[in-house]
Amino acid sequence: MASTLKVDTIQTNDGTGTIALQNQLSGMTTASLPALGSAQMPTGSLLQVVNATSSILETSSTSYVDMYSATITPSSTSSKILVMVTNHVYITNWTNNEWRGCMIKLLRDTTTIHNDGSYGEGAYFDHNDDRYMTYSTFQLLDSPATTSATTYKLQGRSKVNTNVVFNNTNYGGGGAITLMEIAG
């Protein structure tokens, strides 16, 4: 049920005057409203979202190989970028008694910004398993201090020459990277 409020005038809080409301909104359209850009948004506001999904990558290389990336152009040098990553990992073809797994790292353009020491972000298991599936996820709040297009790229590798399949939907999962610009 809709309600209607009808008044001719509103009195100021201190009682010294009135505010006339007659025809205050007539002729107003969304085109006549002021634009609200990222510069007017308060700190902590979500300004934009970029998402990219992965393609399948299969490797047994112990050197990092490119997986997938997403590019965002911050509207201010004070903006932060919240990076959220999920990767499906399937590891098989174990042939020796070595510890095995995979490693994943994140780069901003050409600079590594997330790599967990010698282990990286990935999946690890011992020699008693003949195959392993899991998800590798992480979040990072970055301060790129630029208004230029910025690419966040994921790279992955095998830990000990075992076969690793990243983000194969045939094995139950894919991967994605989401970039969110937060007003600084």
SS3 content of the chain, % helix, strand, coil (to 5): 5, 45, 50
Exposed/middle/buried for residue 95 (C-beta within 10 Å: 0-12, 13-18, 19+): exposed
Q: What pLDDT is stored for residue 183 in this prediction?
A: 95
pLDDT higher at 99 or 7: 7
The pair of structure tokens assigned to 82 is 């919240």
The whole-model pTM stands at 0.75
Confidence band, pLDDT 50/70/90 cuts, at residue 20: low
- Distance between CA atoms of residues 19 and 11, nearest Å: 6
Could you tell me which CATH number the domain at 44-182 has?
A: 2.60.120.1340
* pLDDT reading at 63 higher than 80: yes
**Percent of the chain predicted with pLDDT > 90:** 38
Give the range among 13-17, 39-43, 61-65, 138-142 with minimum mean pLDDT.
Answer: 13-17
